[in-house]
Amino acid sequence: DVKVTQSSRYLVKRTGEKVFLECVQDMDHENMFWYRQDPGLGLRLIYFSYDVKMKEKGDIPEGYSVSREKKERFSLILESASTNQTSMYLCASSDPGLAGRSTDTQYFGPGTRLTVL
C-alpha cells in the first residue's frame, strides 16, 4: 500500500514564524503536491514537484515555498506565517504514466491542521 505521511497532524504557530511542513512517500512516486483545504473552497494547489529539485507553482503559491532534495520528501515552507494561512494542508503523491501523463490516482497524506495565532 502506498503510504504518504506528514510530520504533524496539528500545529500551532505564531504570526511571523517560519514554518516547515514535511511530507514523505514510500512508493518512489515522481510527482508530489501540496494543497490547502478550506471550507467551501475545496483543495487548492500550492506547489507541485515532478522530480527532485524541480518545482512548479500551483494556483496559490504566494507566501509559500517548497523544497524537494530527495525523491521521497517534499517540504512546504511558510517563510513568515500569517493568520490567513491557518488551514488544513494536504500532501499527495502520484506516478506519471505513459509519456509523462499522470496516472489517475493521487495518494494523500492525513493532513496537517495549521493554526497561526
Partner 1 sequence: GQSLEQPSEVTAVEGAIVQINCTYQTSGFYGLSWYQQHDGGAPTFLSYNALDGLEETGRFSSFLSRSDSYGYLLLQELQMKDSASYFCAVEGGNFNKFYFGSGTKLNVKP
Candidates 15-23, 43-51, 63-71, 74-82; binding stretch for partner 1 (CB under 8 A) = 43-51
The answer to whether 58 contacts partner 1 (rule: CB under 8 A) is yes
The answer to whether 68 contacts partner 1 (rule: CB under 8 A) is no
Do 58 and 47 touch, CB atoms closer than 8 A?
yes
Task: Please give the C-alpha separations between residue 43 and each of 40, 91, 98, in angstroms, as whole numbers.
Answer: 9, 11, 26
Candidates 10-18, 19-27, 52-60, 68-76; binding stretch for partner 1 (CB under 8 A) = 52-60
Least distance (Å) between residue 104 CB and partner 1: 3
Q: What are the grid coordinates assigned to 6, written together?
A: 506528514
Candidates 17-25, 63-71, 76-84, 94-102; binding stretch for partner 1 (CB under 8 A) = 94-102
Task: Please give the C-alpha separations between residue 54 and each of 47, 57, 117, in angstroms, as whole numbers.
Answer: 10, 10, 32
